[in-house]
Amino acid sequence: MKTSSLPLISVQNLTVEFGTREGPVTAVRDVSFDLARGETLGIVGESGSGKSVTSFALMGILDANGQVAQGEMTYSGIDLRRASPRQMRDIRGREISMIFQNPRSALNPIRKVGLQIEDILREHAVAVGGHARRQAVELLDRVRIRDPEKRYHAYPHELSGGMCQRVVIALALACKPRVLIADEPTTGLDVTTQKTIMDLIRDLATEQGLSTILITHDLGLAANYCGRIVVMKRGEVVEAAPVDVLFGAPRHPYTRALIEATPRRSGTVRALLPPDDFRHGQPDPKPRCRALSAPLLTVEGLTKEFGAEGSGFGWLPWRKGVETDKAFRAVDDLSFELHAGESLGLVGESGCGKSTTSMMIMRLLDPTQGSVRLDGEEISAIPSSKFARHPARAKLQFVFQDPTDSLNPRFTAARCISDPILRLGKLEGGKAVKARVEELADLVNLPLELLSRFPHQLSGGQKARVGIARAVALNPSLLILDEPTAALDVSVQAVVLNLLADLRAQLGMSYLFVSHDLNVVRLLCERVVVMRAGIIVEEGATDQVMTTPKTAYTRELLASSPEPPPTLGALEAAE
Amino acid sequence: MADVTAFKAGVKPRNHIVYILTENPVSIVAIAGFAVIVFAAIFGPLVAPYDPLATNVAISLHPPSWDHWFGTDQLGRDVFSRVLVAARLDLMISVSAVALSFVIGATIGSAAGYFGGWTDRITGRVVDTIMAFPLFVLAMGIVAALGNTVENIIYATAIINVPFYARVARAEAAIRRTAGFVQAAKLSGNSDLRILATQVFPNALPPMAVQASLNMGWAILNAAGLSFIGLGVRPPTPEWGIMVAEGANFIISGEWWLAIFPGLALMLTVFTFNLLGDALRDIVDPRQRT
């Protein structure tokens, strides 16, 4: 960090309000921070903390109903709050540029990526004609895109998410800005991609002497790439400190809770809870082990191919011999076992076939080949469309990744939970069903008065609880959890993971935990299976896979997930 | 923008409707107009000052006056009474036609969207075939073939409207087919038909209701159009289309009120239903909930 008398960006007492029909709502209150030259500043907070709004205000791109109510923002002496739209247009892109969360939506889908970079260069009159083209290729090369001449002609849909984000970075850096604001640049990308993108941003920042503001919900990520971190909560800055100070001696209880809730390579589920929770520091709930002799779930040679069905017109005489698209093997000859009371983690990056596998076991998708046996009974032969009324249906349940999407917007929470009971439960009469729903709500710590609410009136964590209550309503023997916490804030994730650990101890279910994050899977599973491109690359006890991984891929996966520095408490405990 | 949404409190439905109405006063006009039309349809025959069928050649073709607000026609019938009484028949035809096409279109559309595959292909082609005809000519053909009755006008209007509902329903069902809550319903042991009826269809209903309201004006116009060219409702039954058709003959000779007033009634009704559709869309569209 270079020390300079004058900060490059200075934000003083910024307050941003949004006009809504209930009157003005303050999204950001009294926020102050400075960004020095060459510094990387992290702004960390959970959803609703106002971290994005702060950066939008800085860039002058607030929504029409938002306005800066108070405070000063300056960029190397220029008053950003009072700058004319024309001045702001010049500053944006040329002086301060921004990278957004979803790279694909930031690119024009019907224009070649190379041309999009050229557009920016021309717009800011940095280069013209053939020169612009050469510079565009150079920029693609600079963001480490292989074969930039060829990629120049690619459309966004022909590139992977990580590649698109590189193009977006190239766009952002095209006019050699001095400040880069990266708003959740790697959310939605795989951990290995996340690492390469973040390393790229860091390297480019050093090369070009950029100052960077990294906005993220991930404290671990910020700790690894930033010098100083500003922690925000509900629109206010709760703490701002250099990384080692922040982790060594967090002053604010919220910071401490956030640090505790960030999953690490070691530590217990209980330790994720905030320090003032009575369960913090207690030993983890032990899963109720049942007879380990017969496997609960046996998967053998499971294979799924997509795209082999053809158009359905193959029987026509003139279609004979016309080759259909080659089938894509999403899951290739997969075999594993899961015992009663045991929890197995299924880990891999997007596209590795983990979701397809869980859908096939769940009997929502028909496998191309292979067998799935539950309690010794072959269930893969029953077509998925007929499985709804099968007796095994109740034994296999699922917790969805997106708690919002998995609840019918027109059903109340109680109606959502009661759905499986009404269809498959053996309860008679409305009273018995109501009693059971209340019992389930109690089990997942959902206040009973929330049962009459609709999904849009519930928070993310509450919706996740409704989803879990629905999944355990029929006392299933196997619960598949598909990234159950991926859409949640870390503090809510901590609560949900603890709930899942408690439920397993109470109800004695087996979990098949599908996730991309080994640090989360580790907390609940004794055994993990690492998948890549439809096949198993490594399988073993969680501790062993985490500490002594056998394959290069697992090692890469482990190295990519950002590990926050140890807290003072953890250091003391180690001594 | 996720940061902003967290600040929004849950808005109660009633507040939402009040908000939409105050934001867009035109919707109040639409609702008021709708009330007038419904009133005329229900109480028209009771409040009409004259018998709409009573002829009195002595006062034929009188221009509008205090006794006869809209004047009288060639047989001396009171135009105002006829316009008022006709509201019921026109509304009846269009409401039944829209209801019929709504039910048929929603059923085949949501089935096509939900099941996909061959169901979708076959219904899709059938719908495309209907759309391939000039719709009004198709309606004319249907009425001409089936016979000149009010029921056949309803059937014809319904058939030519089915594709619009089928398409909206198909699109709405198709995007929800893979939604998490539909998968969750399968895991809860719901059969496909039950999922379609209890999970997919209710969520597709709001945009379909908007479509129905927008379609209503068109259905009235269609029914009137059929009568205008002599298919469907027969004289002397009061009906806007037929009144415009009969009155058109007198415009050249200067008796404009015969055609203008039923035409105005028709226009205002269609206009009201279109405005109502817009208001309804504002109310049910979640994107309007800012």
Which tokens hold the place of B281? Answer: 């869309």
Using an 8 Å CB-CB cutoff, list chain A residues near B11: 21
Residue B184 has its nearest CB partner, among A385, A406, A409, at A406
β-sheet bridge partners, residue A72: A12
Mark which residues 161-220 of B lie under 8 Å from A by CB: 179-181, 183-192, 199, 202-203
A205 Cβ contact list (under 8 Å, min separation 6): A40, A180, A211, A212
Instruction: List the one residue out of A24, A20, A448 whose CA is nearest residue B11.
Output: A20
B167 Cβ contact list (under 8 Å, min separation 6): B109, B127
Residue A48 has its nearest CB partner, among B3, B10, B180, at B3
The chain B residue lying nearest A468, using CA atoms, is B184
The chain A residue lying nearest B202, using CA atoms, is A410
Name the pairing type of β-strands A535-541 and A527-532.
antiparallel
Task: Check: CB of residue A354 under 8 Å from CB of residue A533.
Answer: no
Mark which residues 521-540 of A lie under 8 Å from B by CB: none
The chain A residue lying nearest B23, using CA atoms, is A21
Residue A364 has its nearest CB partner, among B1, B5, B186, at B186
Distance (Å) of CA A528 to CA A522, A536, A544: 8, 10, 10
3-state SS, residue A78: strand
Q: What angle do CA A402, A405, A407 make, to 5 degrees?
A: 110
Position A15 scores a pLDDT of: 93
**Cβ distance of B180 and A405 shorter than 8 Å:** yes
The chain B residue lying nearest A472, using CA atoms, is B188
**Cβ distance of B189 and A457 shorter than 8 Å:** no
Task: Check: CB of residue B48 under 8 Å from CB of residue B85.
Answer: yes
The chain B residue lying nearest A66, using CA atoms, is B4
Q: Whole-angstrom Cα distance, residue A14 to residue A68?
A: 7
Angle between helix axes A113-123 and A161-173 (nearest 10 degrees) is: 20
Residue to test with chain A: of B3, B176, B182, B205, most A Cβ within 10 A: B3
State phi, psi for B120 to the nearest 5 degrees: -65, -45
Mean of pLDDT over chain A: 85
The confidence band for A161, taking pLDDT boundaries of 50, 70 and 90, is: confident
B253 touches A at CB < 8 Å: no
Least confident among A261-275, A334-348, B106-120 = A261-275
Closest Cα of chain B to A423: distance in Å?
6
B7 touches A at CB < 8 Å: yes
Per-residue pLDDT tens digits for A173-214: 888 889 999 998 888 788 888 888 899 899 989 988 899 999
Q: Whole-angstrom Cα distance, residue B106 to residue A56?
A: 43
Position A44 scores a pLDDT of: 92
Instruction: List the one residue out of B212, B243, B211 whose CA is nearest residue B225.
Output: B243
A467 touches B at CB < 8 Å: yes
The confidence band for A574, taking pLDDT boundaries of 50, 70 and 90, is: low
The confidence band for A575, taking pLDDT boundaries of 50, 70 and 90, is: low
Segments making up each domain of chain B, as ranges: 11-51+68-288
Element (H, E) at A238: strand A236-242
The chain B residue lying nearest A417, using CA atoms, is B188
3-state SS, residue A297: strand
Position A35 scores a pLDDT of: 92
Position B8 scores a pLDDT of: 39
Q: Given the structure tokens 């717009």, which residue do they identify?
A: A123
- One-letter amino acid at A183 equals D
The chain A residue lying nearest B115, using CA atoms, is A385
Which tokens hold the place of A60? Answer: 């002058």
Closest Cα of chain A to B282: distance in Å?
15
A50 touches B at CB < 8 Å: yes
**Cβ distance of B7 and A48 shorter than 8 Å:** yes
Task: Check: CB of residue B243 under 8 Å from CB of residue B228.
Answer: no
CB atoms within 10 A of CB B138: 16
Using an 8 Å CB-CB cutoff, list chain A residues near B202: 410
Position A159 scores a pLDDT of: 85
B254 touches A at CB < 8 Å: no
Burial letters A144-175, b for 16+ CB under 10 A, else e: bbeebeebbebebeebebbbbbbbbbbbbbbb
The chain A residue lying nearest B117, using CA atoms, is A312
State phi, psi for A369 to the nearest 5 degrees: -150, 165
Helices (H), B116-200: 117-132, 135-146, 150-177, 180-187, 192-195
Residue to test with chain B: of A16, A17, A21, A475, most B Cβ within 10 A: A21
Mark which residues 423-442 of A lie under 8 Å from B by CB: 423-424
Q: Whole-angstrom Cα distance, residue A259 to residue B208?
A: 49
β-sheet bridge partners, residue B146: none
Residue to test with chain B: of A63, A105, A408, A459, most B Cβ within 10 A: A408
pLDDT in tens, chain B (290 residues): 333 333 334 445 567 677 777 777 788 888 888 999 999 889 888 888 888 888 888 888 788 888 888 888 888 888 888 888 888 888 888 889 999 999 999 999 999 999 988 889 999 999 888 888 888 888 889 888 988 888 888 998 899 889 989 999 999 999 888 888 998 998 888 888 899 988 898 888 888 888 888 788 888 888 888 888 888 787 788 888 888 888 888 888 888 888 889 889 988 998 898 888 877 777 776 555 43
Closest Cα of chain A to B238: distance in Å?
44
**Cβ distance of A467 and B6 shorter than 8 Å:** no
DSSP 8-state secondary structure symbol assigned to residue A318: G
Per-residue pLDDT tens digits for A455-470: 888 888 899 999 999 9
Using an 8 Å CB-CB cutoff, list chain B residues near A48: 2-3, 5-7
Per-residue pLDDT tens digits for A396-452: 899 998 888 899 988 899 999 999 998 888 777 888 999 999 999 988 889 998 998
Q: Whole-angstrom Cα distance, residue B244 to residue B240?
A: 6
Closest Cα of chain A to B290: distance in Å?
7
Position A470 scores a pLDDT of: 93
Position A353 scores a pLDDT of: 86
Task: Check: CB of residue B53 under 8 Å from CB of residue B86.
Answer: no
Position A309 scores a pLDDT of: 54
The confidence band for A290, taking pLDDT boundaries of 50, 70 and 90, is: low
Per-residue pLDDT tens digits for A232-245: 998 899 999 999 88
β-sheet bridge partners, residue A25: A18
The chain A residue lying nearest B192, using CA atoms, is A385
Position B2 scores a pLDDT of: 37
Closest Cα of chain B to A473: distance in Å?
9
**Cβ distance of B191 and A406 shorter than 8 Å:** no
Position A346 scores a pLDDT of: 92
ipTM summary value? 0.79
Position A1 scores a pLDDT of: 43
In this structure, which CATH number among 1.20.1250.20, 3.10.310.10, 1.10.220.70, 1.10.3720.10 belongs to the domain B11-51+68-288? 1.10.3720.10
Position A126 scores a pLDDT of: 75
Using an 8 Å CB-CB cutoff, list chain A residues near B203: 408-410
Position A3 scores a pLDDT of: 46
Domains plus CATH for chain A? 1-90+180-185+213-262 (3.40.50.300), 295-411+475-574 (3.40.50.300)
Position B7 scores a pLDDT of: 36
Position A382 scores a pLDDT of: 84
